Amino acid sequence: MLAPKYLPLVAKQVWRHRTRTALTLSGVAVAMFLFCAVQAMQNAVAAATTARSKETTLIVYRENRFCPFASRLPEHYQQRISEIPGVRSVVPMKIVVNNCRASLDVITFRGVPSDKLTMPGGKGEKFRFSAGSMQEFTKRGDAAIIGGALAKRRGFRVGETFDAAGVTVTVAGIIDSDEAQDQNVAYVHLEFLQRSGGLDQVGIVTQFDVKVDDPTRLREVAGAIDAAFEHDQEPTATRPETEFVARAAKDIIELVGFSRVLGLGCLAAVLALVGTAIVLSVQDRIKEHAILQTLGYGRGLIARLIVMEGLLLGIAGGGLGTLIAVAAIEWRGLSMSVEGLSMNVTASPSLVIVGLAGSAVLGIVAGLVPAWQASRRQIAACFRAV
């Protein structure tokens, strides 16, 4: 490592070559910004679709149906599902979306029986209201509790009325929740949503959200549910929630999977940018390094000074890019939705760490070769060459 007393020297080299540094930093920042954006999307997909060992949620859907418009199940299945051993709770839910395809700006209504939201142990128990309240919600028939991500994206406020997919609701509360899906939906009264779809919709729901007691028995319970309705008019297909999201979002997942290559490309760009900057600056300063060596600076020290310069450029540029990415993600509240399911793009602390550490490592790597070359030069020959 480099002794701290040499750090100002490196910093001055970087700071006082303004133009070169500014160009390098902006290039690195852009590349790191893209990398972080791609990484955040990857994380969003992973968080929504990777099976968790503690998973306890099952989604019961109409067999062979994949879009909320097409999945129609009788609401009264609720009773029979709740009697199946291992089931802790059942929430019938009607889903209405304004856009069934993959999109970055979908509004998803979830109609849930009022008592299932408000009663102890119900869905609403996990809500943390940042505005409005559950009381507001119970007061109005057209009330909606909306997720924080959705509120941020559309700029919704409590008391505001909005219309989507032919449904007009009034915002009664804005919530934060540990469940990814809650972030991006509007919870409304089930009856209200059923009515707004026409009389034939009464008594019909899209799906049931089932909680099981024991995560290890998740599939077993799913099998039992499907077996119970096998010979009914509306047979069911029950899957763990993450699997359900993964299936619905297959296209997005493929796309995002491909973006991994983009992410790697961004890293390569950072390496190339810092590498070029260092190589050029070292070329420019052959004589300067010969002077330092004449003053008694050893080869190792020269090499470390140069590597430190790469590290500094990497961290500064990468830090800037990461910061911009985090700010953009936080500000925009991006989420990718398909078929009413959403994957929220968030800027996690780990993203910041990956961004910073990645650019630091790349900065160091970029400095290694020029550092080695510079430290190998014959001092006397350097003075003659210029």
Partner 1 sequence: MTQAPINGQAEGGLEPIIRCRGLTRTYIKGDNTITPLAELDLDVARGEFIALMGPSGSGKTTLLNLVAGIDKPTSGSLRVGGVELADVSPSRLAAFRSEYIGYVFQLYNLVPVLTAYENVELPLLLHRLSGRERHQRVATALQLVGLADRHDHFPRQLSGGQEQRVAIARAIVTDPRIIVADEPTGDLDKESAAAVMALLEQLTAEMGKTIVMVTHDPKSAAHASRVLHLEKGRLVVQDERFATLAGA
Ligand X SMILES: Nc1ncnc2c1ncn2[C@@H]1O[C@H](COP(=O)(O)OP(=O)(O)O)[C@@H](O)[C@H]1O
By CB under 8 A, name the binding residues for partner 1. 5-6, 9, 12-13, 16-17, 287-288, 290-300, 378-380, 383
**How far apart are CB 287 and partner 1 at their closest, in Å?**
7
**Under the criterion CB under 6 A, does residue 18 sit at the interface with ligand X?**
no
C-alpha distances (whole Å) from 124 to each of 2, 11, 147, 192 are 55, 53, 12, 18
- 3-state SS class at 204: strand
The pairing of strands 57-62 and 143-147 is unpaired
298 binds, among partner 1, ligand X, none (CB under 5 to 8 A by kind): partner 1
The CB-nearest residue to ligand X is 381
**How far apart are CB 5 and ligand X at their closest, in Å?**
33
Which one, 202 or 381, has the nearer CB to ligand X?
381
Per-residue contact flags (x/-) with ligand X for residues 363 to 382, judged by CB under 6 A = ------------------x-
**Under the criterion CB under 6 A, does residue 386 sit at the interface with ligand X?**
no
187, containing H or E segment: strand 185-189
Report phi then psi at 306, rounded to 5.
Answer: -70, -45
H-only helix segments in 124-164:
134-139, 148-154
Q: 142 and 188 in contact (C-beta within 8 Å)?
A: yes
**How far apart are CB 12 and partner 1 at their closest, in Å?**
6
H-only helix segments in 155-249:
190-196, 218-228, 241-248
Which one, 9 or 268, has the nearer CB to partner 1?
9
Which one, 69 or 297, has the nearer CB to partner 1?
297
**Under the criterion CB under 6 A, does residue 5 sit at the interface with ligand X?**
no
**How far apart are CB 376 and ligand X at their closest, in Å?**
15
Instruction: Tell which residue, 355, 378, 275, 365, has the closest CA to residue 33.
Output: 355
* Residue 36 tokens, joined: 């972080």
Q: Which of residues 301-330 bind ligand X (CB under 6 A)?
A: none
Instruction: Note the residues at the interface with ligand X (CB under 6 A).
Output: 381, 384
